[in-house]
Structure 1
Amino acid sequence: MLARNTYLVIDPDLKIALDVVRRKQAASKDERREFMKNPRAAIAEALGAAEEEAAASLFVETAQYSDRVLELGLWEPPALAWLTRKSGQWLPESFPIWVGSRQIAMTPDSITTLKQNCAAARQAGEADIEVQGERHSVDVVEQAVREAEALYGTFNPDRAQPPADAADNANQAGDPSAAPEDPASGDDLVLLIKTNIDGLDYELVHPRRGARIARDLPHQALGATTPQPHQLEGFDWLVKTWSAGWPGVLLADDMGLGKTLQALLFLAWIRRNELASGRAEPPTKRPILIVAPTALLTNWVAESVRHLAQHALGTCVEAFGSSLVKLKRPKGAQWSPEDALEIGALTSADWILTTYETLADNHRAFARVFFSVIVFDEMQKVKSPGTINTQSAKAMHADFVIGLTGTPIENRIEDLWCVMDRIAPGYLGDLKNFSAEYGGEDPAALKMLKVRLEAPFREGPAVMLRRMKEEILVGLPKKNVKKYPTPMPSIQSEAYDAAVAEARKGKGDPAGMLKVVHALRSISLHPTGAQNVDSYDAHSVRRWIAASARLSKTIELLHSIRSASEKAIVFIEDLEIQKTLAAAVPQLLGLSKPPDVINGGTPGKKRQAVVDRFQDGGKGFDLLLLSPRAAGVGLTITAANHVIHLSRWWNPAVEDQCNDRVYRIGQDREVTIHVPIARHPVFGDESFDHTLDDLLEIKRKLSRHMLAPPVQSNDVSRLFGAAIRGEQVQRPPN
């Protein structure tokens, strides 16, 4: 409100514009949405053609944003109907949902049953139903189902594809520090950008950059760390690509080669160069931004303390977790999303840490800052062009971008395009043409793509650096992979027979094949899951273990590892089996307490605390049970030298990420990867586990020679054909 005797004079043109806005506020929702997409056009029309200059003067174009940013508008995911969806997961064995205050594990089939039970209870006028032995109100159960469907997708047992990104979302379920993938979606206005999807709208090419300091390792910025030769080579490559004018680069080294350290060395050099260039204070100051999954941000702080001298990167601002509250501006009359965070605190910082979700939530504020470097750690988080996380990352304003990932292609070849479109927009062209050229998975085309990314460009270094541990770490201990074909007990083989017989009655359509593959996968782990077992009754536990070839072999292996006083980690996806095994292990192995477990319900800080206890546990046997997606990245567990894959994924990149928790820099003992394989007495080599193992080996060999997508369009049909029809899967060469 205006104070007494205070008058507000409104320009006539502005009054017309405000009248337009007022009318639109009272209009229908569709009309309001159309207006929000392009308010300038409606206001210009009201002012009349002769007043085009006046209309333009009502809109302030800020120079703060990247020139990739077009305007403010409603977020609408791009139409990508022509882009074939290839899921990197199959139907998960189980996933956690909350029913009231209790977290329980469910499968897609049990969710469907739960929905049917709720509907039946409603029809019968009943107020509550039983869920896994406890009574809950129908309202509470229906709410749990809705939340599960929002997180994992709508469950339909007859669909041809599993929920999109179900495992990634399950990875975060129950973790209060993790946010949904698209937290800022909805009707909020977002920064719209040139997308490069249907045509090349935006191409970024920098001139060569000049440095004010020597292009050498800044020894005075280092702590006690002596970088290894390949890490010095990585630092040198980063400096040369920056000098050559690349807008960004992809450091895609194999996991365990120290990508974080290489990036830190370069960031320390960049800060010294910024200071020497006179950009020490705002408004010329350009902070560094590091974007990473929540669980990895504390690791960045720890690694900087470990490897760099004090203040080598300057003042750090933590824009995540509880620290984010200090940066948020209270909403008031003058508040806007551009001012959601204290911009002064961001522009005054030397380096800033945030998450992908926080960046998306506050992208209009972050986009006002011009960063000297943005580092995207685990950059496959922005592999999908249809998410607000990706949109927000591409709207940021940076002089140089570093993408870090050991898996540049997680599901499909288009993942690589999306990552590169943030790093070096335009270098791989537009998405539609890229997909047409490389999406067919032609080996020759994929080899040429790899050459294009790894070859020098315009007399400068390549835009991508990718090295494998086997090529670099001469002193790394040997890694042994042992596979154990184990006969299925009769209860397991009979359940397998029944599933095969049922499958042969079907039509062999994609939806049916996926259901069969899921059934065979589950039975090959355990024919009854975690049902009918009392984990605290020794006889019940022994009977349960004996019903599964993989579980029997796993316990046998753990006895051997314990006898050798060594440590192991076991990867198991099914949460109920994970829980039951954790409770049963003490009596099976004679332990004083159950092993620690890390899964999607373990908060980020607790995960690191569990790992720290394991790492610092001294000599002797110890065991961790881990979920592949929840603990497959970002954790260093070199105290263990045994990895057991009790359950496996059909994406070899995921399995390799799991192995690399143990087999990485810092490991000083030989590592053994154990793979129990359930072998059917009749199907033999065509048993599901054998077929999956062959498929994974084929994919691994392909990915070493070309940028082949680890998930291919015919994976389900290949598994189905081998397991049901006895078709031969091409064996990998020796």
Structure 2
Amino acid sequence: AKRKLQVPKQRELGDLDLKVGSGTNWLSVDASLICEEGVILSFRQLIDDRAGRFVKLGDDHFVALSEQLRRRVDALAGLGSLHDDGLHASPVMLPVLEELAADLADPKFDAEAQSRLERLRALAATKVRKPRRFTAELRDYQRDGYAWMWRLAEAGFGACLADDMGLGKTVQALALLAQRSALGPALVVCPTSVVINWISECKRFAPTLRPQLLSDAGDRAALMQQLGPRDLLVCSYGILAGEHEALAEIPFATAVFDEAHALKNERTKRARAARELQAGFRLALTGTPVENRVDELWSLFRVVVPGLLGSKAQFEARYANPIARGEREAAGRLRSLLRPFILRRTKAQVLDELPARTEITLHVTPSADERAYYEALRRRSVDIIEADPKKKRFRILAEIAKLRQAAVDPRLLDADAAPGGSKIAALLEQIQALRDEGHRALVFTQFLGSMALVRRALQAAAIDHLELDGSTPAAERARRVAAFQGGEADVFLLSLRAGGVGMNLTGADYVLHLDPWWNPAVEDQATDRAHRIGQTRPVTVYRLISVGTIEEKILALHERKRELADDILDGLGGDEALDLDELMALLA
């Protein structure tokens, strides 16, 4: 006689038995499911079969997992690596485990884990006071951010403050540095362009700290040897990479990485040097924790919260690859994992009083000569790429760079090209109209050649302007920023990368982008030099786009890039590395 297949009874979230213990350097996580007739499904069985709804018990016996239960097992499995005695997870996973256990019937944490949880709860209830003699008046959300960082530091975790550009991440970090200054020396690593800003802001708001600049000048070895409590060492990412061995010897109480997307590539010297540092608390400051790819988060958190996202292979299997396939659950699991360690507030959420920001795209029609030059260059680019398939990607990127310059002005590639200058002329016309109405403007471009063309156009029109690019020394950079803020010049001409971070340029109420960058986050950072705390006037942003060129296609990419950052931090995710077909489409 045929045996009847048993109709499985569905198991719910409340049936899951979770145990959390404390190992030497890890947490031991075990979960099991008690089924009919005393049969117990082990964590390994649950993990191995979690892809489907049914788990096999015997020849004719199955147990059905509810969708909620299956997702919880999946989330637990992503916290570490499976061993014979259960899952081993980093101690930083404790807040995540508490959240995952919150709605279970009877989760069991051993005495040590329970003690640490009680410590976390006590910290959460602690009222955090502003540091003594700290002179900045913190807004409510800034006090919340400072308190959040303090609690994570006291708990022994790292943190990423990912507030929108212009919300005062520096002053929040300075409050924390002042609070922890008695514990030992601190380190701030930042782009060269904002080194002086950190020194001046420290002197202005945190007089109990002693800021020290580690630069190419002076006796660096002697400076590092004499560091003690209340000293704040400030250096660039370049100095960090060059002095990594000496810096790794210093037991810092706190290490802050400003514009921390500089650490998004784990293979760079700066990222390796950052990982080698000794620090009681590590803090990343960045308005753009994800610029292009999800794995940038892995590199960043490997520095500030080691162990949180597992190995590179584990991260790719659990999160990056599924997110690239558009799987909602993977993005949700990643958000849940990051939630205790990343704080992000947008301007819309916290700054009701910030003036409006309007964005306008100005479409510039090239002259007949410019169109002919661009089209000939485009066709030649396609021929060059097709002629050498083995070096296709390298060739594509090189040819795209040429087309982007030609879209601004053919003279960037060929000094003898027929004078067109349609885009420069459109920019100048806009600047003159703004000046006549009493407005002041920031002009951003990524090409030094186009800076030279704009400079000549401004000089010919007798328009006062200041300039700043990557070659501008830090002290001179600070002088020019102060001059513009003091009312000197109607226009500030800046290279996108050098002028796009760490400066307050609220003296301008118009921002003009001469050419589009691949990633809108970089442009937004530049725009936020003007649209930030301290701005009292509405800010208008103009993007000049050459009609019929690669610039129109780059603009279309912007929306996709914005979606990536929003999806990982706020919702569904997708991986945005361009493949060869997408790159070729830019040349079409």
Range class of TM-score, shorter chain: 0.7 to 0.9
Shift of residue 575 of structure 1?
1.3
Shift of residue 643 of structure 1?
1.0
Contact 1:703–1:710 (CA under 8 A) maintained in structure 2: no
Give the Cα separation in 2 of the matches to 1:390 and 1:722.
Answer: 32
Q: 2:481 aligns with which of 585, 606, 611?
A: 611
Q: 1:485 aligns with which of 349, 360, 363?
A: 363
Which residue does the alignment assign to 2:559? 697
Give the Cα separation in 1 of the matches to 2:434 and 2:177.
Answer: 42
1:125-164 alignment to 2 at 5 Å? none
Which residue does the alignment assign to 2:406? 523
Q: 2:145 aligns with which of 219, 234, 240?
A: 234
Check if 1:586 corresponds to 2:459: yes
What is the DSSP-based 3-state SS (H/G/I as helix, E as strand, rest coil) of the residue aligned with 1:221? coil
Check if 1:402 corresponds to 2:283: yes
Q: 1:316 aligns with which of 211, 217, 220?
A: 211
Contact 2:424–2:453 (CA under 8 A) maintained in structure 1: no
Q: Given the superposition, is the C-alpha separation of residues 596 and 424 from structure 1 closer, same or farther in structure 2, using an over 3 Å criterion?
A: same
> Deviation per CA, 1:573-613, whole angstroms, max 9, x where unpaired?
2212211321231222x33x5x2221122112211111111
Contact 2:405–2:413 (CA under 8 A) maintained in structure 1: no
Shift of residue 259 of structure 1?
0.4
Give the Cα separation in 2 of the matches to 1:350 and 1:643.
Answer: 38
Contact 2:567–2:574 (CA under 8 A) maintained in structure 1: no
Check if 1:360 corresponds to 2:241: yes
Contact 1:651–1:711 (CA under 8 A) maintained in structure 2: no
Q: 2:164 aligns with which of 244, 250, 254?
A: 254
Which residue does the alignment assign to 1:712? 576
What is the DSSP-based 3-state SS (H/G/I as helix, E as strand, rest coil) of the residue aligned with 2:502? coil
Which residue does the alignment assign to 1:266? 176
- Amino acid of the structure 2 residue aligned with 1:643: V
Which residue does the alignment assign to 1:565? 438
Contact 2:517–2:523 (CA under 8 A) maintained in structure 1: yes
Q: Given the superposition, is the C-alpha separation of residues 581 and 641 from structure 1 closer, same or farther in structure 2, using an over 3 Å criterion?
A: same
Which residue does the alignment assign to 2:184? 286
Which residue does the alignment assign to 1:448? 332
> Deviation per CA, 1:436-478, whole angstroms, max 9, x where unpaired?
33333234266325522453xxxxxx10001222222111111
Shift of residue 395 of structure 1?
1.7
Which structure is higher in strand share? Answer: 2
Give the Cα separation in 2 of the matches to 1:404 and 1:234.
Answer: 12
Give the Cα separation in 1 of the matches to 2:133 and 2:272.
Answer: 35
Moved over 4 A (4+): 199-211, 503-506, 530-533, 707-711
Q: Given the superposition, is the C-alpha separation of residues 488 and 355 from structure 1 closer, same or farther in structure 2, using an over 3 Å criterion?
A: closer
Contact 2:196–2:478 (CA under 8 A) maintained in structure 1: no
Give the Cα separation in 2 of the matches to 1:296 and 1:626.
Answer: 15
Q: 1:380 aligns with which of 261, 265, 271?
A: 261
- Amino acid of the structure 2 residue aligned with 1:607: R
Check if 1:298 corresponds to 2:196: yes
What is the DSSP-based 3-state SS (H/G/I as helix, E as strand, rest coil) of the residue aligned with 1:596? strand
Give the Cα separation in 1 of the matches to 2:500 and 2:311.
Answer: 32
Contact 2:131–2:178 (CA under 8 A) maintained in structure 1: no
Give the Cα separation in 1 of the matches to 2:194 and 2:333.
Answer: 30
Shift of residue 532 of structure 1?
4.4
Q: Which range moved further: 605-614 or 571-580?
A: 571-580
Shift of residue 317 of structure 1?
3.3
Shift of residue 380 of structure 1?
2.1
What is the DSSP-based 3-state SS (H/G/I as helix, E as strand, rest coil) of the residue aligned with 2:361? strand
Shift of residue 715 of structure 1?
5.9
Of all paired residues, the percent bearing the same amino acid is: 29
Shift of residue 647 of structure 1?
1.4
Shift of residue 426 of structure 1?
0.7
Q: Given the superposition, is the C-alpha separation of residues 316 and 699 from structure 1 closer, same or farther in structure 2, using an over 3 Å criterion?
A: closer
Contact 1:479–1:672 (CA under 8 A) maintained in structure 2: yes
Q: 2:134 aligns with which of 198, 201, 222?
A: 222
Shift of residue 260 of structure 1?
0.7
Contact 2:516–2:551 (CA under 8 A) maintained in structure 1: no
Which residue does the alignment assign to 1:50? none
Shift of residue 511 of structure 1?
4.1
What is the DSSP-based 3-state SS (H/G/I as helix, E as strand, rest coil) of the residue aligned with 1:357? helix
Give the Cα separation in 1 of the matches to 2:247 and 2:88.
Answer: 23
Give the Cα separation in 2 of the matches to 1:366 and 1:504.
Answer: 48
Give the Cα separation in 2 of the matches to 1:615 and 1:709.
Answer: 40
Check if 1:471 corresponds to 2:349: yes
Shift of residue 719 of structure 1?
5.2
Shift of residue 257 of structure 1?
0.6
Give the Cα separation in 1 of the matches to 2:394 and 2:187.
Answer: 44
Give the Cα separation in 1 of the matches to 2:336 and 2:312.
Answer: 16
Contact 1:409–1:710 (CA under 8 A) maintained in structure 2: no
Shift of residue 672 of structure 1?
0.8
Give the Cα separation in 2 of the matches to 1:431 and 1:664.
Answer: 36
Shift of residue 568 of structure 1?
0.8
- Amino acid of the structure 2 residue aligned with 1:448: G
What is the DSSP-based 3-state SS (H/G/I as helix, E as strand, rest coil) of the residue aligned with 2:128? coil
Contact 2:564–2:575 (CA under 8 A) maintained in structure 1: no
Which residue does the alignment assign to 1:149? none
What is the DSSP-based 3-state SS (H/G/I as helix, E as strand, rest coil) of the residue aligned with 2:503? coil
Shift of residue 679 of structure 1?
1.1
User: What are the ranges of 5 or more consecutive residues in structure 1 without an aligned counterpart?
Assistant: 1-66, 68-195, 275-284, 330-340, 456-461, 534-539, 681-686, 725-734
Please tell me the root mean square deviation across aligned C-alpha atoms, in Å: 3.2
Which residue does the alignment assign to 1:627? 495
Question: Which protein has greater RCO, CA pairs closer than 8 Å, 6+ apart?
Answer: 1
Shift of residue 355 of structure 1?
2.9
Check if 1:645 corresponds to 2:523: no
> Deviation per CA, 1:146-180, whole angstroms, max 9, x where unpaired?
xxxxxxxxxxxxxxxxxxxxxxxxxxxxxxxxxxx
Give the Cα separation in 2 of the matches to 1:710 and 1:502.
Answer: 34
Check if 1:675 corresponds to 2:543: yes
What is the DSSP-based 3-state SS (H/G/I as helix, E as strand, rest coil) of the residue aligned with 1:346? coil
Shift of residue 504 of structure 1?
5.3
- Amino acid of the structure 2 residue aligned with 1:706: I
Give the Cα separation in 1 of the matches to 2:523 and 2:509.
Answer: 16
Check if 1:421 corresponds to 2:302: yes
Which residue does the alignment assign to 1:328? 221
Q: Given the superposition, is the C-alpha separation of residues 560 and 655 from structure 1 closer, same or farther in structure 2, using an over 3 Å criterion?
A: same
- Amino acid of the structure 1 residue aligned with 2:427: T
> Deviation per CA, 1:210-236, whole angstroms, max 9, x where unpaired?
88x96422264232x321121111112
Give the Cα separation in 2 of the matches to 1:485 and 1:716.
Answer: 28
Give the Cα separation in 2 of the matches to 1:607 and 1:716.
Answer: 39
Contact 1:379–1:403 (CA under 8 A) maintained in structure 2: yes
What is the DSSP-based 3-state SS (H/G/I as helix, E as strand, rest coil) of the residue aligned with 1:426? coil
Q: Which range moved further: 365-374 or 464-473?
A: 365-374
Give the Cα separation in 2 of the matches to 1:511 and 1:351.
Answer: 43
Give the Cα separation in 2 of the matches to 1:628 and 1:717.
Answer: 28
Shift of residue 349 of structure 1?
4.9
Contact 2:252–2:278 (CA under 8 A) maintained in structure 1: yes
Give the Cα separation in 1 of the matches to 2:132 and 2:227.
Answer: 26
- Amino acid of the structure 1 residue aligned with 2:148: W
- Amino acid of the structure 2 residue aligned with 1:420: F
Contact 1:688–1:719 (CA under 8 A) maintained in structure 2: no
Give the Cα separation in 2 of the matches to 1:407 and 1:494.
Answer: 38
Give the Cα separation in 1 of the matches to 2:196 and 2:541.
Answer: 28
What is the DSSP-based 3-state SS (H/G/I as helix, E as strand, rest coil) of the residue aligned with 1:242? helix
> Deviation per CA, 1:156-206, whole angstroms, max 9, x where unpaired?
xxxxxxxxxxxxxxxxxxxxxxxxxxxxxxxxxxxxxxxx9xx99994649
